[in-house]
């Protein structure tokens, strides 16, 4: 029973990681206008990841993945 539960929890984690990667890819594919609209939605949150990606993209054309990896 414990093995089944542990496998179920691990599967949920794997699914969540895959889903997050899909969401990140969708955001990375947005045009500048769409990214700006999305950043406006989340601007109430200080330093939200979407807001940071937007500001980086507008400042120097840095891609979302370059920012995430810490390379310029």
> CA-CA distance, 59 to 56, in Å (whole number)?
5
DSSP classification of residue 45: S
What residues contact 43, with CB distance under 8 A and at least 6 apart? 51
Instruction: Note the residue count of the chain.
Output: 72
- What residues does each domain of the chain span? 1-57
Instruction: Give tens-digit pLDDT for 20-61.
Output: 899 888 888 888 788 778 777 777 666 777 767 767 766 665
Query: Which of 37, 40, 32 minimizes the C-alpha distance to 58?
Result: 32
pLDDT for the residue numbered 39 = 75
């Amino acid at each position: 029973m414990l093995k089944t539960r542990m496998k179920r929890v691990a599967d949920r984690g794997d699914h969540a990681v895959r889903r997050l990667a899909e969401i990140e890819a969708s955001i990375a594919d947005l045009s500048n206008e769409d990214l700006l609209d999305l950043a406006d939605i989340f601007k109430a949150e200080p330093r939200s990841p979407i807001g940071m990606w937007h500001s980086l993209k507008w400042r120097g054309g840095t891609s979302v993945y370059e920012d995430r990896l810490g390379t310029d």
